[in-house]
Amino acid sequence: MEMIIQQLVNGLFLGSIYALLALGYTMVYGIIKLINFAHGEVYMIASFIGYFILNYNENIGFFPAMLIAMVICAGLGMLIEFLAYRPLRKATRISALITAIGVSYLLQNIMTYFFKSDARPFPQVIARKNIDLGFLQVSNIQLIILFVSLALMVLLQLVIQKTKMGKAMRAVSVDSDAAQLMGINVNRTISFTFALGSALAAAGGMLIGLYYNSIDPMMGVAPGLKSFVAAVLGGIGIIPGAALGGFVIGLIETIATALGYSDFKDALVYLVLIIILLVRPAGILGKNVKEKV
C-alpha cells in the first residue's frame, strides 16, 4: 500500500510536466482548431537551450536559464505560427495537420543534424536531495517541478481570465470573425497564444532535463504525443481539462510501473483514453457540441 501511495505521488510530479505541455495543445486548438504537433519539439529545443546556457554561463542559475528558454521558445512558437500555420489558416484542416507533422519532423531533423542523436547529460545545477515524509520519499527536484508547474498553471489562468489579451483569446476562440469586427487583432491574439503555449512547453523541457539528467533531439516525441492524449482525455480546448488530463496520464504511467507493467504503460495510457472517450466522447470535462457540416 505504501508503494502504491509513493507511486501516486511520483505520478503527480510526472503528470505536472504532461499538464504543461497539454495546455499548449489545448490553447492552440481552442483558438484555431489546430493540433500543433511541433509542440513536443519546442519542449525539446528548450532543454537544449538550457543545456548550453548552463554549461557556458556558470553565473546563471537554473531559474534565470529557464526564463531565457521560455522567452526564446515563445519567439520560436510565434515564428512557427507565422511561417507555417498562418498561410494555411483558410485551408482545409487536413492541410494544416499535415503541415504541423511536417514542422515537427523538420525541427527533429535540424536538431539531429546540428547536435547529433546522442543523449547529453543535462547540467545538474541544483543538487538533488531526498526528503523523507513519513513513509513517503520525495526529492527537492520533484517538489520544484510540482511547485513551478502549479505556479505556471495558476499564472496562465490569471492571464486568460484577468487580462485584456486573455479576454481577446476567449473571444477569438468563440468566433474569430465577430472578434475582428469588435476591433480585436486576431493575428496578434493567435501569435500570443502560440507564444504562451510554447513558453509553458519550454518550462517543461527545462524541468524534465533537470529531473532525468538526459536530453536528446528525439526526447519530445513521446511526451508530445502523450500530452496531446492528455489534452483529448481532459477535453480538448478546455484548459482545466488539459491540466487534469496531464495528471491522469502521469498517474497511469507510474501506477503501471509500480504494478510491474512498465513495458505496457504506454499501451495502458491509450487504453484508458479509448475507454473514457467511449463513455465521454468529448473528454472528462468536455461538452458535446453540435457542429454544422
CATH number at residue 148: 1.10.3470
Share of the chain above pLDDT 90, in %: 41
The total of other beta-carbon atoms located within 10 Å of residue 292's CB is 3
Q: In this predicted model, what pLDDT tens digit does every residue of 116-143 receive, in sequence order?
A: 888 999 988 888 888 887 777 888 898 8
What global pTM score does this model have? 0.90
Domain span holding position 174: 2-279
Q: Which carries the bigger pLDDT value, residue 1 or residue 74?
A: 74
130-133 and 136-139 as β-strands: parallel, antiparallel, unpaired? antiparallel
Least confident range from 183-197, 201-215, 223-237: namely: 223-237
pLDDT above 90: residue 107: yes
pLDDT of residue 290: 54
Look at residue 287 and tell me if it is in a domain.
no
The total of other beta-carbon atoms located within 10 Å of residue 129's CB is 10
Domain count, the chain: 1
In the block, cell 475582428 appears at: 180
Look at residue 76 and tell me if it is in a domain.
yes
Q: In this predicted model, what pLDDT tens digit does every residue of 139-196 receive, in sequence order?
A: 889 889 999 999 999 999 999 999 999 999 999 988 888 999 888 999 999 999 999 9
pLDDT above 90: residue 8: no
Rounded to 5 degrees, what are φ and ψ at 219?
A: -70, -15
Look at residue 285 and tell me if it is in a domain.
no
Measure the CA–CA gap between 289 and 33, rounded to whole angstroms: 14
Look at residue 92 and tell me if it is in a domain.
yes
